[in-house]
Structure 1
């Protein structure tokens, strides 16, 4: 179901699109793990992702990315 991250938190690797990406998702870009801090809607279903580092990434509505998502406690 979930895996343990180095810090001990339960995480899950999942595929996301612009419709399903969430704040807190961690995306591997250029060998660096980038955590999504905020999301902004763009025309035609695209989104712009703002990372904790201050960097931006725009993704098309059909873009598919693998992210690490911390599992929420129930």
Structure 2
């Protein structure tokens, strides 16, 4: 499902893994929404996510998370 948000962006719900997560994705963890600020590749196909608020989350190759991805309209 996609929805228009103010500013001409398109918000889309996506499922992300360590291989598909991107900077800017908004991931809900423990009832709070966190925006991914940076990513660090770890061994064994794992990724460490650094959220804009300073928290870290490490996910492995089989972790699946629901996220909102903002897409710009062209």
TM over 0.5: yes
Between Structure 1 and Structure 2, which shows a larger proportion of helix residues? 1
Structure 1 unmatched runs, 5+: none
2:40 counterpart residue number: 40
- TM-score between the two structures when normalised by the length of structure 1: 0.89
State the TM-score, normalized to the length of structure 2. Answer: 0.89
Whether 1:70 aligns to 2:67 is no
Measured after TM superposition, the shift of residue 72 of structure 1 is 2.3
Gaps of 5+ in 2: none
More strand by share: 2
Alignment size in residue pairs: 72
Query: Any conservation in 1 of the 2:25–2:67 contact (CA below 8 Å)?
Result: yes
Tell me, what secondary structure is at the counterpart of 1:35? Answer: strand
